[in-house]
């Protein structure tokens, strides 16, 4: 069975510090990988996605993620966070049958 694990339920960080949100997945077949952000009381917005090709994927708002097939990981990074990045972040995978499977989410809390 396929699954997505987000190891940290909450990540506190100071403003302008770098951050990494971890995501590991389990799948026996090729997958597509996504990171979504959910701001308070809003729906989800796509940050970035990996479908194929370059393993380093750049997204909106200065975020990037690296696909690592050997470690089955897709960690999200940002070199310098802002207060406005405070939100919940979800990693997700999709298989060839188009089912979308989400991790449990990581709440990023940026402090001044």
Number of residues that bind other proteins (CB under 8 A): 23
Please give the Cα distance from 36 to 94 (Å, whole number).
Answer: 13
Token pair in block for residue 109: 């809390």
- The structure tokens listed for 13 are 């960080």
Query: How crowded is residue 7: how many other Cβ atoms within 10 Å of its Cβ?
Result: 14
Q: Binding string to other proteins for residues 72 to 101, with x set by CB under 8 A, is what?
A: ------------------x-x-x--xxxxx
Least separation in angstroms between residue 46's CB and other proteins is 5
**Interface positions with other proteins (CB under 8 A):** 4, 6, 9, 32, 42-46, 49, 51, 90, 92, 94, 97-105
């Amino acid at each position: 069975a396929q699954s997505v694990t987000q190891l940290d339920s909450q990540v506190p960080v100071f403003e302008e510090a770098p951050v990494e949100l971890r995501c590991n997945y389990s799948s026996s077949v090729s997958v597509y990988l996504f990171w979504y952000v959910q701001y308070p009381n809003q729906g989800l917005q796509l940050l970035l996605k990996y479908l194929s090709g370059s393993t380093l994927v750049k997204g909106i708002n200065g975020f990037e993620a690296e696909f690592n097939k050997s470690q089955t990981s897709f960690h999200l990074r940002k070199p310098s966070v802002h207060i406005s990045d405070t939100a919940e972040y979800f990693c997700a995978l999709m298989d060839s049958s188009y089912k979308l499977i989400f991790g449990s989410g990581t709440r990023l809390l940026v402090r001044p």
